[in-house]
């Protein structure tokens, strides 16, 4: 009889230990999603997760009572069998090892590996134990609430990044980097993706036909049409596609201004709200500093088919292992300011221009050059255009 009662108590001890680990190891977001879908076990588990002090009171109280009762009954049984202290000591030690292995380690390991299944299966028994222990749980819960305050945690952007990194082995690299790119929109500004002014051709309506006839010789990506020469009044924009300009098919884009420093996530919503696809970026003094298209934002998230790779959003991208990837049109002075470098600014305005100046020609493939103790590597070239440059500062 004593052995039967002891084994029953130890079985409940293993149950409480495994249940504690299973519920605490649950994926909170999966439980919340299932609860919102109306799955009853998930709703009950969510209630325990939202009140961890109450749940822990149940399992710890039950586990403690079972262990103490089992040890007491087992010791009483040994004392009835023999009065030798050595045998009682050996029995007590054996019981302790049994509890450690079969009531703690083994059930906790099984529960940790199968937390959701374990938690849902034992939920009815846990509810029954909760009802039985309720007279003790209420005052115990009052005490824990009096001496501690549980702060509800909310998922932050850092938490989401950590989840994406943790799931990296299960996600394809493209999907993982695309998710990181979406998260980067919340703290990257429009000037990091805009087409800078040195890639924008400025003209007037009277010169449009001449520009149209000579479009193939224009190296810029956009034509900015102002009312007349030296005028600050902008009539609109024309994008150069494949070195051609067709005013009939590609009508002038009305000016739509955006302040520098605007977050890409905000601007993406503004594009949708205002039914626009292209904006002119201005600084605090109203001076035009670049042009941004919605396609540039989408390309940063989805990836460029020409690049065959995907980096997090931004003109200067620093990875977790301190690898620096730079867009070729990034201005040298921006690099110097952000990374505390001392690259020469009088040879070229952009990093690609500086690399080409130092090499002496446009590279026809991947190459490497040392500038001011910084090793620049041209990694991707497409259609005679540098796509990406990697930088590796040499340690002093």
Does 120 lie in the same domain as 172?
A: no
Interval 59-114: pLDDT, tens: 989 999 999 998 888 888 888 877 777 777 888 888 889 999 999 999 999 999 99
Confidence band of 155 (pLDDT split at 50, 70, 90): low
pLDDT value at residue 15: 94
Confidence band of 247 (pLDDT split at 50, 70, 90): very low
Final residue of a domain: which of 261, 277, 302? 302
Confidence band of 381 (pLDDT split at 50, 70, 90): confident
Candidate from 22-26, 105-109, 376-380 with smallest mean pLDDT: 376-380
Does 333 lie in the same domain as 292?
A: no
Residue 337 within a domain: yes
Provide the domain count of the chain.
4
- Which has the higher per-residue pLDDT, 196 or 302? 196
Interval 318-377: pLDDT, tens: 765 677 888 887 878 778 877 888 888 777 778 888 888 888 887 877 888 888 888 899
Instruction: Identify the CA nearest to 11 among candidates 56, 82, 62.
Output: 62
Does 361 lie in the same domain as 253?
A: no
Does 247 lie in the same domain as 337?
A: no
pLDDT value at residue 307: 45
Residue 112 within a domain: yes
Structural domain span for residue 343: 316-393
Residue 308 within a domain: no
Asked whether the whole model's pTM tops 0.85, one would answer: no
Does 333 lie in the same domain as 270?
A: no
Residue 322 within a domain: yes
Residue 132 within a domain: yes
Interval 113-142: pLDDT, tens: 999 999 999 999 999 988 888 888 877 777
Interval 202-224: pLDDT, tens: 888 777 766 666 555 555 668 88
Does 273 lie in the same domain as 338?
A: no
d(CA 218, CA 206): 17
Does 232 lie in the same domain as 262?
A: yes
Does 31 lie in the same domain as 120?
A: yes
Does 379 lie in the same domain as 290?
A: no
Determine the longest span between alpha carbons in the chain, in angstroms.
114
CATH of the domain at 331: 3.30.465.10
- Among 18-32, 238-252, 354-368, top mean pLDDT goes to 18-32
The mean pLDDT value of the chain amounts to 79
Does 167 lie in the same domain as 197?
A: no
CATH of the domain at 220: 3.10.580.10
Final residue of a domain: which of 184, 201, 226? 184
Residue 309 within a domain: no
Q: Is the predicted pLDDT of residue 165 greater than 80, yes or no? A: no
Q: Is the predicted pLDDT of residue 289 greater than 90, yes or no? A: no
Does 262 lie in the same domain as 224?
A: yes
Does 204 lie in the same domain as 241?
A: yes
């Amino acid at each position: 009889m004593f052995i039967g009662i002891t084994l029953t108590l130890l079985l409940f001890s293993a149950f409480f230990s495994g249940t504690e680990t299973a519920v605490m190891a649950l994926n909170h977001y999966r439980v919340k999603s299932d609860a919102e879908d109306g799955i009853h076990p998930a709703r009950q588990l969510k209630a325990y997760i939202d009140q961890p002090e109450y749940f822990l009171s149940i399992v710890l109280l039950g586990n403690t009572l079972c262990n103490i009762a089992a040890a007491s009954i087992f010791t009483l049984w040994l004392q009835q069998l023999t009065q030798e202290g050595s045998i009682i000591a050996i029995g007590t030690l054996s019981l302790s090892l049994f509890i450690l292995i079969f009531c703690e380690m083994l059930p906790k390991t099984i529960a940790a590996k199968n937390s959701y299944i374990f938690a849902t299966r034992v939920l009815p028994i846990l509810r029954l134990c909760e009802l039985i222990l309720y007279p003790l749980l209420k005052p115990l819960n009052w005490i824990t609430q009096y001496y501690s305050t549980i702060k509800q945690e909310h998922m932050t952007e850092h938490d989401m990044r950590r989840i994406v990194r943790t799931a990296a082995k299960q996600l394809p690299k493209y999907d993982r980097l695309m998710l990181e790119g979406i998260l980067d929109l919340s703290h990257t500004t429009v000037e990091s993706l805009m087409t800078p002014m040195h890639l924008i051709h400025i003209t007037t309506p009277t010169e449009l036909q001449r520009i149209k006839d000579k479009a193939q010789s224009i190296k810029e990506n956009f034509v900015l049409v102002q009312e007349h020469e030296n005028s600050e009044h902008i009539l609109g924009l024309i994008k150069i596609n494949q070195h051609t300009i067709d005013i009939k098919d590609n009508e002038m884009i009305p000016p739509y201004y955006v302040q520098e420093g605007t977050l890409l996530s905000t601007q993406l919503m503004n594009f949708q709200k205002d039914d626009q696809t292209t904006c002119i970026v201005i600084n605090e003094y109203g001076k035009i500093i670049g042009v941004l298209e919605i396609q540039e934002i989408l390309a940063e998230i989805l990836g460029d088919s020409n690049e065959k790779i995907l980096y997090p959003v931004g003109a200067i991208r620093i990875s977790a292992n301190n690898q620096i990837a730079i867009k070729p049109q990034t201005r040298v002075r921006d690099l110097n300011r952000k990374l505390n470098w001392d690259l020469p600014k009088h040879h070229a305005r952009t990093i690609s221009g500086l690399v080409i100046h130092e090499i002496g020609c446009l590279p026809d493939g991947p190459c490497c050059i040392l500038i001011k103790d910084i090793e620049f590597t041209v990694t991707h070239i497409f259609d005679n255009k540098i796509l990406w440059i990697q930088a590796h500062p040499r340690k002093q």
